[in-house]
Each structure stands twice: as structure tokens, then as C-alpha cells.
Amino acid sequence: MAALDGVKVIDVGQFYFGPYCTMLLARLGAEVIKIESPQGDPYRRLPTVDEAGASIQFRFLNAGKRTMRLDLKTPEGQQVLRDLAAKSDVVVQNLSPGAMDRFGLSYESLSADNPRLIVASGTGFGSFGPYAGESAMDLTIQARTAVMSTTGFEDGPPTRTGPSFVDFLAATHLLSGVLAALYQRSVTGKGQHVEVSLQDAVIPALTSNIAGVLSPSQELPERTGNRHGGLAVTPYNSFPTSDGWITILCPTDAHWQRLCGLMDDPEAYDDRFTDMAGRCRNVDDVDRIVGRWTGKNKKDELASILKTARIPSAPIVTLPELLVDPHVKERRIIREVTDEEGTFTTLGSPLHLSDSPIVEPTRPGGLGQHSDDILRDELGMTDAEIDHLRQNNVI
């Protein structure tokens, strides 16, 4: 059986933060109902679409969920969600700050009807502190949390990371909180409120950079390019090759000595480079020497040579190369699924449990596709009651 068989989850999320958390819950076997506004999740309307005109981002994050159109700004819509939450295990939401409270759907309100309910809230800055209540997105959190000021090169502007890592890192934190709350509930019988803020989830990833600031031993630039965030390991960089780029790092003196043997460059044996501290003081010269060697070789050939020498390295792959990478394909984190409508691509799961199979994702439904079934199956509504909600634009 899947790890979360029988667990019912209500997804009141949008964009990446909440939906990725609930996507992981779905891959673990939870039954997830995605609640969307009458206009639908904003990511349904992005211009990056497949051949059939479907939003690729929406499909990646919402495959495997049932979809329901529900206007939470109406009293009837709020009551429907309250009734669904009363029969569910988890509600995940990352709406704008205060929205659930304004809808009368706070944790206190929902848990009064269902003391076993776990409500997981994804926020920008949390429920307390000077920034509590401020709206936030991946880019604005990167700006506010020193990610942008530490990304890029010293002589360049602050730069956002390529991937939207803030949302996804926070979503995995939120998943951890949900799973912990489910475990505690199995002991106490009581649910609780789980809160994860984007800012809190990101700051631990700045450990090396913060260490560099707190250390009195040296003054560091905020942005170190592809070098170590605290400039405490050298070499630690990307280096040009004859057909692209490769990353190489030597975390110990032994790694550096093995690299010197491969490079066979007399300058690499300079006494200035004998230990890590010396290499870090002379980082420009070290990088120049390593780059001179890598530039004469192809990146995949270098990767093989460095792997044999047990020196940490990896070729820098492009996105098209990633999509055909045999390891990525075998791990099925990017998964092609075939159904009666054809073949579509979505996300698999990074979570592998030895005795709990990953649940295969199904094609995400259209906006409100499963509304009638959910109301009928979960709440026992009659066709007349469902028609009433539709005529009043609640669903």
C-alpha cells in the first residue's frame, strides 16, 4: 500500500508553494482535492503550454489531483469548504495573507468542527514578526532574504537563482511539518496548525555565506560567483572546457594533490597552494591554473577522468541535456504518462520508500471537472443541491 493511503487532503493553494506540497502528498498516496477560484489557478493561464494548449507548469504541480471550482468569497462556498474539511485529514493553503481568516476559515474555525484536522499554512513571512502579513513571491523573498545579494559575481548586479528554489524548498518544509503532525495525531488524536514561511525555509541555505560574514578572519564580498559562498574552499568553481563548462572542487588537501597529478602543471606545486588556507588566499591563481587545464579538454571526458581520481566534479548540463539524461529518465522524476487522451509529461516523486510504492500521477482535470463528483461523493449532495450551487456561481 502507499504510505498515505486513506489520507484526505484539501489543497487551497496556488502557484508553486502549496501545490508542490500537496503534489508530494498525492505521490505518497493521499487523495487530494484541489480547490480553485472561479477563474482557476493563475498558473493555468501561463503562456508556456504543450501541443494541446495545456499549461505545463500547472500540469507538473497538479497531476494526480481531483479539481473543484469553488468561490470562497461566497457564504455557500465557504460552507462547502468547511464541510469538506470536516471530513478531511489535512488542509493546505498558501492564499494571500489573512484570506482564510476573512473567509471565516481559520484554523480555529475549521478545527472546531474537526479536532483531528491538520491545517498547513504556507506564508511569506509567517504569522508574527514585523513583516507578518506582507505578500511575498519567490523573487521578492530572494530579494528580502539576501539570496539575490549573494548570487552572481562580485562585479555584477544582484541576481535571482535560475530555478524558483524558494517555493519548492519551502514546500518540502511544509510537507515535513504535515507528516510530523500526522504522526503526532496518531498518538494524541488531535490535529494542529502547521506554519512554514518562505523566508524561514530559505535562510538555512545561506549557512556558508553567513559563516563568511560572521567570521572575523576575512572580509568577503557578498557575491562570490561560482566560488564557495564563504570562500573557504578552493578550487571550488566552474571552469571552461573545449565544449562547455565543468565544476570542480577540492574539499581537502588530498583532493588538491590528486588534481595536481592530473594537471601535470609545475605552477600548481607552488608553495602558496600547499594547504587550503593558502589556496583560498590565492584563489585567482588557483582558478587560472585549473582553467588552463580544463580548457584543453571536453567536459564529459574530464568528468570521467576526475571521477576515476575521486575528485568531486560534474559537467554543467543544459536543460535539453537534462531532459534526456539517462539517470533522470531511470529515476522517473520527470515522468511521461500515457492515458486515453495521449501522452503527457509531469513530475514524478523525489521520495522513495522501500515498502510504499509511488502513486502514478493522472492527468490533471479541467477547471471544476470533478466538482459534482466531490460534492456527491464526499458531502452526499443531491443533484438539485449541486445545480443550486452552480446556478449561483458557487461552483
Residue type, 291: G
167 is catalytic: yes
State how far the alpha carbon of 344 is from the alpha carbons of 1, 19, 63, 336, 347, in Å: 25, 19, 10, 6, 10
Contact, 169 vs 145, CB < 8 A?
no
Among residues 101, 167, 355, 372, the one annotated as catalytic is: 167
Q: Which three cell numbers stand for residue 237?
A: 568553481
| Cα(336)–Cα(347) distance, integer angstroms | 8
| Cα(224)–Cα(228) distance, integer angstroms | 7
Give the H or E element holding residue 359. none
Q: What's the full length of the chain, in residues?
A: 395
Burial class of residue 133, CB neighbours in 10 A (0-12, 13-18, 19+):
middle
Please list, in sequence order, all residues whose beta carbon lies within 8 angstroms of the beta carbon of residue 384, skipping any fewer than 6 positions away. Answer: none
How many Cα neighbours within 13 Å face the side chain of 259? Answer: 29
Contact, 299 vs 273, CB < 8 A?
no
How many Cα neighbours within 13 Å face the side chain of 13? Answer: 31
| Cα(123)–Cα(134) distance, integer angstroms | 9
| Cα(266)–Cα(63) distance, integer angstroms | 56
Phi-psi region of 177 (alpha: psi -120 to 50; beta: other; left: phi over 0): alpha
For the chain, state the CA radius of gyration.
25
Cα 23 to the center of its chain, rounded Å? 11
Q: Residue 97, preceding bond cis, omega within 30 degrees? A: no
Long-range contacts of 346-351 (CB under 8 A, 24+ apart): 346/59, 346/60, 346/63, 347/23, 347/60, 347/61, 347/63, 348/27, 349/24, 349/27, 349/28, 350/24, 351/24, 351/27, 351/28
As annotated, the active-site residues are: 167
